[in-house]
Structure 1
Amino acid sequence: MRLVSLLDEEKEEEKSIEKAKVKRLNEAAMKGSVASLLELIQEDPDILNKANLSLSDTPLHVAALLGHSAFAKQLMTQKPELATDSNSQGSSPLHVAAAKGYVEIVKELLLVNPDMCLVKDRDGRTPLHLAAIKGRVEVLTELVRVRPEATRVLTGGGESALHLSVKNNHFGALKVLVESLGKDDQFVNWRDSEGSSVLHLAVAKKQLEMIKYLLTNSKMEVNVRNANGFTALDLLLHSQRDLRDMEIKECLQKAGASRMTKVQSIANNQEIEEVLPPIQAQPLIPKETDSKPVVEKHKHTDWLGRKRSALMVVASLLATVAFQASLSPPGGVWSDDYSVDSDGNPAENPHKAGLSVMAYHDPRKYEAFMILNTIAFLASLSIILLLISGLPMKRRRFMWIQMVTMWLAISAFTSTYFVALMQITPRQVRTTLFHVSRISLMIWLVMMGLVFVGNIIRMTLWLLRKYGYIKEKEKEFSLYVEEEENDE
């Protein structure tokens, strides 16, 4: 039994020694210390094999990540197989070096195994794809030089390296790839899983420089459609307006771009494709009878949208300030407990830590402050809750209710301000402050009254119009005028 225990102890000791060596190797890789690497290999020639079993990332992965080219070269000299090892993400050292843009390490890795250019990671991307995503122009140039066919490898989503460079706005990477493809017009016009070519992507992102380059230096099919049936020009016309739109449109039209629409045949229920030339958007002049309702509806929608956005911002600010005021009332809070004096006798005015100082010295003002602050806080939260509830709040009456609630919150918050101001102001200057505050409060009340009366008038007129009372009076008045004119 004692012999077995001794053997187990020896095994554990060997494991701990091996772990220490692997840790030293990892540290040497992080520092890029070739001397430490050679020292470890001299101590244990099998250390590189042990490291592969113990670590997710091999020392070569670490060197490629940190750009230690000399260390990486020495590793591949000692064990060339490291260049083909993958980590837990399925990435080879070439994936890592290409994404980071370390050209020297990329060159060394390609000398060992050029076929690693075609290997995909777990996300379905090759080292060339990662270099295109990151815009590593020098790395792309080297990868294309060694394995030109790598440019034609697609990702798991059916995207080419051209798509990735356009999506990530790397013009230099796009140029390298287009030049490497040469006369392969079919691949330049390759469409991804959504049916989008690189021209579709460039137009969608308004990348003017890329669009000009693609139209000038490659044979782009400008009228090819994506999965939604849109050409590049269709995408431009349906996108948000931008200062570059006119110039992009001119480039596309010079290249022969057209709008592609689908017309449904009523007679035989067949879908017919019709090519329409690009047209200038003309202002639509509606009929006289239809113009007013459309304009009023548009204005109504814009008005409600602006009010909802403004109410959300103001309510959020008021709720934040009211919450902070409840935690930090005027005068602050006691920082310690005080129940006995220095002689050990019960204190006349005891207090506890964390409670409001104002509540002890002036309970009435504290009550007024907290009541008003609570009203402002709950009114603001009510506005936020109504706006995010998903209820149909698109009618004017609901918007007026929310605005009245907001007036209540603002009025309560204003009163809270004056209570707090009087509390923190010394008695000798309160007289002047009182007069200034009274004048300011009167002006505020007059403004609130005017706004309130104005909205009451608006609501009254709206109700009268809704139930047709005003229209009837207008008709009666017009009939009365006509009768008077006829009598004359």
Structure 2
Amino acid sequence: MEGKLHEAAITGDALELDRLIKEDPDILSGAAAEETPLHIAAQLGHTEFVAMIGILKPEFAHAKNSEGQCPLHLASAKGHVETAAKLLEINSDVCFVHDRDGRTPLHIAAMKGRIQVLEKLAEKKIKAAWVLADCGQPILHLCANHNQFDALKLIIERVKDKAPEKLVEFVNLKDDDDNTILHLLAARAQYQGFTALDVLHQNCGPLDRMRIKYLLGERAKRATNIRGSKSYGIKRSMWDLLFERKNAEKSETRDTLMVVAILIATVTFQAQINPPGGVWQQDGTITRKKFASDQPEEVMYYAGQSVMAFNHPSSYSWFITFNIVGFVASLILILLLVSGFTFRRKVSTLALTVTTWIAIMSMLVIFSVTFSSLKSENTRDVHSTSTWIVSPLWLALIILLALSVLPSGIKYIWMHVYKGIIRSVKRGFKHLFCCLCFRKSREEDSEGRNDVNV
């Protein structure tokens, strides 16, 4: 039976509905609470079916579906004028029902540009125009954001007709960002410096322009009539967009540096506790020469000590030194980034660059020393060849990078350090000269007094 009721709602067959009710007077009571026949009929625009349901079950007008929408929401979204009017006759308070997104049927009609439905709703319940959506936006803001300027004009006209004393208050309603509709309209043409009235002049005909200007009142001005002031609505210029892009690039660079620093810290820490070649698993002795010309001697080693420290003590010294340097440099880099060091000042950029270079160069030295100490007789030629190929290339890269950074570094030192020293020296000589002149003047005054006394 419920399936037949559903089919009757889809087709809008009022006669079938009447027959089903005669067969089972309680059939509407057993309908699904979330998707009532009134929802289906309202969405499809079956006005006669809606009227019959409204008489039998007027409480269905307030029922909400899974999206939190009442039947009037659905009729308003589809633009079914007669159906919306019939639902308003059943219960006009449904104009204030919010859906899951906090929007009323008036909001839906305005956003969709359903002008005729919007007019019916505004005529019946103009107070609903003051209701804010859950996003904090008044209905005029929703119209502007969805390019529904005809709906915007209609709402302003209806507010003027129904509550003229509240027109200024209505137009000055603000969203969560503290913007009125005038600010929002001006922002649509912000880079040209237009006001809201300029936007209306571009988007409306002559008659509409006169009407809207009259509705907005004397407070509405053209940009050419505003002297010595900037429109409050023009909050972002093209320069703001450029700075945003540069800030985004700096943020990406900062994030990349953070990843590199964490990676280097992880690698160096792991190499410190687990050095190349491993560690001795038990205590023992090893025969080795401290220097090539020395006699072999037995050296005691203990479990947990590095094998490389005994087999290649010189290489291990280089390894442990640069491993510590790389680890500390990476920690310093992480600390600088976490502390809010940015690229806005050259000294910050220079500090981050130098620290990164030290960490990366330490990694290179660690790799070279490790590769050299762990090579075997079979890989000696490979090591020599790779060293002769990679070393010049890496050295050339370092020189190029140094040359690219050196001029700006020298300029910075010249501008801030050297000139500061020169200024300090000049200030010192000037102070010394003033002191000497003052002393000489005092001596002359003293001699003059002595002559007078004599």
TM-score by length of 2: 0.49
Higher relative contact order (CA 8 A, sep 6+): 2
Q: What is the TM-score with the length of structure 1 in the denominator?
A: 0.46
Larger Rg over CA atoms: 2
